[in-house]
Amino acid sequence: MHTTHSTPAGPDAVPALVDELTALLRPQLPVLVDVAADLHAHPEIRFTEVHAAARLTAELTAAGFAVDHGFGGLETAFVGRWSTPDADEATPTIAIFCEYDALEGIGHACGHNIIAAAGLGAGLLLKSALETAPGTPAHVVVIGSPGEEGAAGKVPMIEAGVLDGVDLAIMVHPSAHNSVDGTTLSRVALDVEFRGRASHAAASPELGVNALDAATLSLTAIGLLRQQLTDDVRVHAIVTDGGQAPNIIPEHAALRVFVRAGERDHLLENVVPRVRACFEGAALATGCEVLIEERTPPYFSLVSNPVLAGLARAAYERLGREVESAPITGSTDMGNVSHIVPAIHPMIRLIPDGVPHTREFAAAAGGPQAEPAIADGAVMLAATALAVFREPALAEAAQRAFDER
């Protein structure tokens, strides 16, 4: 360990770090707020985040990070790296994830513009702090992961090696509450197609094989199945094709279905097979053929690392943010990251009682409420990482907790 610091270890060190970082944040905050506003004004859905990726990588490059564009073959993915001159292979490497994709129709209703600005801010703050007070070896990685909404964009990046050499991973997400140790639901997306035979719906319906009937029957079967599912399970679907004209027996119908559960193994081994059986049974009952595909990778439930969560909690408390018990939320591909390296995904209050994926939340993500969430989110992430860099034994403790989970 090379550090020259003898500050208190663990959460006790965090309040002083928060004060140190808050002072460094002041000149940088206007740029971070502008980044969030820029992304909010230019919403881009999964894997089309060209403007967002260009803005974020430009800021990282200007700050002295070495940026790898198009990581893993994903045009809008990037990895920015910066290390202190005294860092070596034994030095902890901490990755800060930025998300920046929007939602169809309602823009940044999940606040990913705030995630991006806070993650960028944490990286810049760490560089400033480590240069201002040299003597602490550090490897800082800022990862831009596209396509979180519906496409699990972190998974192909993981497969391409983005976590190779990374010891810890952190990010922050806007919400209605402040929490540090929540979990999420594992999720599988199913794309289902029923194929039947067209016929005139009035003159010769008996000659048709109704694909829409199969879709309807499968949704009814899922509705009945819910009584036999554990309370953590969620199954929700939309009809993406229900036929072309009411006077034609639909020869094709399609559904997109999300299946979620609290535990990855329970979802994959118990829940998904039973849901698939609903589609297969409906096809059998109506005489249709059925095709069931998983076109996107599954999301795994988030495993919050208690060591990192303790540091984040101390940072929030110093910032005057009351930490609440975290409810189980939706799904995130940060969960997949947390199954590979110790990780946290704290939530930060944007507006009280705010519900993501609503127009109200989208408005708040582009309003004056965004600035304190960006500022406190950046400081919390940076303080968590800086505590580890200054006391590398915390990285070892986080790894032990990860191994023992």
User: What is the domain partition of the chain in residue ranges?
Assistant: 10-184+301-404, 191-293
User: Quick one: 353 exposed, middle or buried, by C-beta within 10 A (0-12, 13-18, 19+)?
Assistant: exposed
Whether the per-residue pLDDT at 247 is higher than 60: the answer is yes
CA separation for the pair 105, 107 (Å, rounded): 6
Q: What is the pLDDT of residue 35?
A: 98
DSSP letter assigned to residue 299: B
User: Quick one: 293 exposed, middle or buried, by C-beta within 10 A (0-12, 13-18, 19+)?
Assistant: exposed
CA separation for the pair 289, 275 (Å, rounded): 16
Q: Which helix (H) or strand (E) holds 144?
A: strand 139-144
CA separation for the pair 346, 232 (Å, rounded): 21
Whether the per-residue pLDDT at 1 is higher than 70: the answer is no
Q: Closest by alpha carbon to 312, among 280, 342, 346, 267? A: 346
CATH class (in words) of the domain with range 191-293:
alpha beta
From residue 337, how far is each of 62, 146, 169, 212, 305 by CA, in Å? Answer: 28, 14, 8, 38, 12
Q: What percent of the chain has pLDDT above 70?
A: 98
Whether the per-residue pLDDT at 326 is higher than 90: the answer is no
322 confidence band (pLDDT: 50, 70, 90): very high
**DSSP SS3 for 391:** coil
8 confidence band (pLDDT: 50, 70, 90): low
Please determine whether the domains at 10-184+301-404 and 191-293 fall in the same fold group of CATH.
no
Whether the per-residue pLDDT at 3 is higher than 60: the answer is no
Q: Closest by alpha carbon to 118, among 166, 161, 165, 56? A: 56
Contact between 194 and 289 under an 8 Å Cβ cutoff? The reply is yes
Q: What is the pLDDT of residue 327?
A: 73
Q: Which two tokens stand for residue 381?
A: 């992430």
Q: What is the pLDDT of residue 328?
A: 77
Cβ neighbours of residue 31 under 8 Å, at least 6 residues apart? 59
Lookup result for tokens 């990286």: 123
Average pLDDT over residues 145-159: 97
Q: For the chain, what is the mean pLDDT?
A: 96
405 confidence band (pLDDT: 50, 70, 90): confident
Classified by CATH at the fold level, domain 10-184+301-404 comes out as Aminopeptidase (3.40.630)
Average pLDDT over residues 39-51: 98
Which of 168-186 are b and which e, b meaning 16 or more Cβ less than 10 Å from the residue's Cβ?
bbbbbbbbbbbbbbbbbbb
Q: What is the pLDDT of residue 5?
A: 42
Q: What is the pLDDT of residue 2?
A: 41
336 confidence band (pLDDT: 50, 70, 90): very high
Q: What is the pLDDT of residue 4?
A: 42
pTM given for the model: 0.93
CA separation for the pair 90, 2 (Å, rounded): 10
Q: Which two tokens stand for residue 245?
A: 């004209």
26 confidence band (pLDDT: 50, 70, 90): very high
What is the per-residue pLDDT across 89-121, written as a single tens digit (0 to 9) for each? 999 999 999 999 999 999 999 999 999 999 999
Across-strand partners of 200? 248
Whether the per-residue pLDDT at 7 is higher than 50: the answer is no
User: Quick one: 85 exposed, middle or buried, by C-beta within 10 A (0-12, 13-18, 19+)?
Assistant: exposed
Whether the per-residue pLDDT at 379 is higher than 90: the answer is yes
